[in-house]
């Protein structure tokens, strides 16, 4: 079996990729990536990701609603980030229609955020998160989870709904929780490209069960060099670091992570999808 590198969580629809999105993707393919899972946040990015995935086989579409976008109608007027106003109900129905047509590889990004927004939004965030998890389970799709400052609550909800195909992206909670959830629930953890400068990601790379580790970038964020734009090709460095930490050959580390990717996400051919959006 050929093995490839994978980036299971990236945002190539971000405005910082507007001028060179295709060069960035070409560099990733050149570096050996077989899967670039683009995660949607809102109606605009969800639709752009579907278009990109139809054009480029290595781009795999995950559609979701970012936790703060899920409460777009509750954000204060002086909220520092640009968030489009949209109806989450109808966006969930759009995502459902894509799942029915087998146009998507996963549900994400979705989850809970307790860093950017306050407690008054938690109940509304949880409602959207629960609906997206239920949709994923119904269509046997993985869920890619954002869990900032709300890791334990995310896990409670995922467990109570019986979610098995789960990837926690850029997990910032306690490493002992990651360890337990990987072992007991079979959940996956995708490690970003800045692992060499992060004590907790280094710890996760060296101690999580080897069959539960994935790589991601969260590009343009979380780059290996602070302040520099990140891109999917940087997962290659994370796989090299995983090999170093475990005393493996790089080829073995690559094979392990690619096997994990296939186990969670399965084979997916965007060209097989039938309908257009």
- Considering the complex, state which of residue 109 and residue 131 has its C-beta at the smaller distance from Zn ion: 109
Q: How far is the CB of 275 from Zn ion (least distance, A)?
A: 26
167 binds Zn ion (CB under 5 A): no
Q: Which residues pair with 61 in a beta bridge?
A: 38
Q: How far is the CB of 146 from Zn ion (least distance, A)?
A: 6
Query: Cis omega (within 30 of 0) on the bond before 12?
Result: no
The DSSP element (H or E) to which 234 belongs, if any, is none
Q: How far is the CB of 170 from Zn ion (least distance, A)?
A: 7
- Considering the complex, state which of residue 71 and residue 243 has its C-beta at the smaller distance from Zn ion: 71
Q: Which of 180, 124, 141, 185 is nearest to 160 (CA)?
A: 185
Q: How far is the CB of 39 from Zn ion (least distance, A)?
A: 6
Q: How many CB atoms lie within 10 A of CB 226?
A: 8
Contact pattern for Zn ion over residues 211 through 250, marking x by CB under 5 A: -------x--------------------------------
Please return the burial class of 73, using the count of CB atoms within 10 Å of its CB with bins 0-12, 13-18 and 19+: exposed
- Considering the complex, state which of residue 7 and residue 109 has its C-beta at the smaller distance from Zn ion: 109
- Residues 21 and 114: their CA atoms lie apart, in Å, by 31
- Residues 107 and 142: their CA atoms lie apart, in Å, by 6
Q: How far is the CB of 183 from Zn ion (least distance, A)?
A: 25
- Considering the complex, state which of residue 39 and residue 273 has its C-beta at the smaller distance from Zn ion: 39
Q: Point out which span in 18-26, 42-50, 108-116, 205-213 binds Zn ion (CB under 5 A).
A: 108-116
* Paired tokens of 28: 């990733």
Q: How far is the CB of 9 from Zn ion (least distance, A)?
A: 6
> Which residue's entry shows tokens 């997206």?
132
Q: Point out which span in 54-62, 79-87, 104-112, 229-237 binds Zn ion (CB under 5 A).
A: 104-112
| CA-to-CA separations, 263 to 97, 123, 173, 218, 254, in angstroms, rounded | 24, 33, 24, 21, 14
- Considering the complex, state which of residue 88 and residue 217 has its C-beta at the smaller distance from Zn ion: 217
Question: How many residues make contact with Zn ion (CB under 5 A)?
Answer: 2
Q: Is the dihedral of CA 229, 193, 64, 270 positive or negative?
A: positive
- Considering the complex, state which of residue 91 and residue 109 has its C-beta at the smaller distance from Zn ion: 109
Half-sphere exposure of 136 (CA within 13 A, CB side): 32
Q: How far is the CB of 253 from Zn ion (least distance, A)?
A: 24
Identify the three-state secondary structure at position 19: coil
- Considering the complex, state which of residue 109 and residue 151 has its C-beta at the smaller distance from Zn ion: 109
Binding site for Zn ion (CB under 5 A): 109, 218
């Amino acid at each position: 079996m050929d093995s490839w590198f994978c980036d299971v969580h990236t945002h190539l629809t971000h405005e910082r990729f507007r001028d060179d999105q295709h060069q960035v993707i070409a560099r990733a393919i050149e570096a050996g990536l077989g899967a670039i899972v683009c995660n949607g946040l809102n109606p605009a990015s969800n639709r752009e990701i579907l278009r990109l995935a139809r054009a480029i086989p290595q781009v795999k579409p995950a559609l979701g609603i970012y936790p703060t976008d899920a409460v777009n109608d509750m954000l204060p007027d002086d909220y520092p980030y640009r968030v489009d106003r949209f109806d989450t109900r109808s966006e969930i129905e759009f995502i459902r229609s894509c799942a029915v047509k087998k146009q998507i590889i996963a549900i994400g990004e979705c989850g809970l955020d307790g860093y950017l927004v306050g407690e008054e939004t938690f109940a509304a965030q949880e409602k959207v998160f629960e609906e997206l998890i239920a949709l994923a389970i119904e269509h046997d799709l993985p869920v890619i989870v954002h869990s900032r400052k709300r890791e334990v609550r995310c896990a409670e909800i995922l467990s109570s709904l019986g979610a098995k195909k789960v990837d926690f992206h850029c997990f910032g909670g306690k490493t002992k929780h990651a360890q337990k959830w990987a072992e007991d629930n079979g959940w996956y953890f995708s490690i970003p490209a800045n692992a060499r400068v992060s004590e907790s990601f280094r710890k996760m790379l060296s101690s999580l069960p080897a069959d539960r580790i994935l790589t991601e970038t969260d590009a343009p964020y979380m780059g290996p060099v602070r302040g520099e734009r990140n891109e999917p090709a940087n997962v290659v460095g994370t796989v090299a670091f995983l090999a170093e930490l475990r005393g493996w050959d790089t080829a073995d580390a690559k094979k392990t992570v690619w096997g994990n990717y296939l186990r969670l996400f399965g084979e997916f051919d965007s060209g097989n999808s039938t309908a257009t959006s």
